[in-house]
């Protein structure tokens, strides 16, 4: 099921990029970011990495021709980038919360094994 979702998201990304073939770099950046934000909950870390790489390429292209864009277009790109990085932070926080919860779920067994490993009674923790 997860593989199906990944394939679906990659297909959506490819379609977006093909549709924006004649678009300006700014439009490609906005399109990529919009697609990413719409699917951010389902993206795997690998898919985030792919999108990061594509965004980096687009940003290099944009920076090379930045003077060709109006201040309004530049502001739109800056706002889109803010949304993108905000979504990344949010996703990272969610993954961190999951990792912490998994760790907390393992603490009782870990402590019991640790106490056994050092030759102490698990009851001595209470």
Residue 101 lies in a domain: no
Residue 74 lies in a domain: yes
Residue 125 lies in a domain: no
pLDDT (0 to 100) of residue 20: 47
pLDDT (0 to 100) of residue 2: 61
Query: What is the span of the domain harbouring residue 82?
Result: 2-91
Residue 59 lies in a domain: yes
d(CA 77, CA 23) in angstroms, rounded, equals 14
pLDDT (0 to 100) of residue 59: 92
Q: How many domains does the chain have?
A: 1
Residue 60 lies in a domain: yes
Contact status, residue 29 vs residue 55, Cβ threshold 8 Å: yes
Q: Average pLDDT per run of 10 along the chain, which is 126 residues long? A: 62 55 79 90 87 93 91 91 88 78 86 86 58
* Predicted TM-score (pTM) of this structure: 0.60
pLDDT (0 to 100) of residue 50: 93
Residue 96 lies in a domain: no
Residue 121 lies in a domain: no
Left if phi > 0, otherwise alpha if psi is -120 to 50, otherwise beta: which for 121?
Answer: beta
Contact status, residue 20 vs residue 31, Cβ threshold 8 Å: yes
Residue 60 CB neighbours (<10 A): 10
Residue 100 lies in a domain: no
Dmax (CA) of the chain: 72
């Amino acid at each position: 099921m997860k593989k199906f979702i990944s394939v679906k998201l990659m297909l959506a990304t490819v379609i977006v990029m093909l549709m924006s073939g004649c678009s300006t770099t700014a439009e490609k950046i906005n399109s990529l970011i919009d697609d990413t934000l719409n699917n951010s909950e389902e993206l795997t870390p690998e898919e985030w990495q792919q999108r990061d790489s594509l965004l980096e390429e687009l940003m290099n292209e944009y920076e090379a021709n930045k003077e060709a864009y109006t201040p309004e277009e530049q502001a739109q790109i800056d706002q889109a980038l803010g949304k993108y990085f905000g979504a990344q932070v949010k996703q990272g926080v969610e993954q961190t919360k999951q990792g912490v919860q998994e760790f907390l779920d393992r603490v009782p067994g870990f402590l019991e094994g640790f106490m056994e490993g050092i030759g102490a009674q698990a009851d001595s923790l209470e």
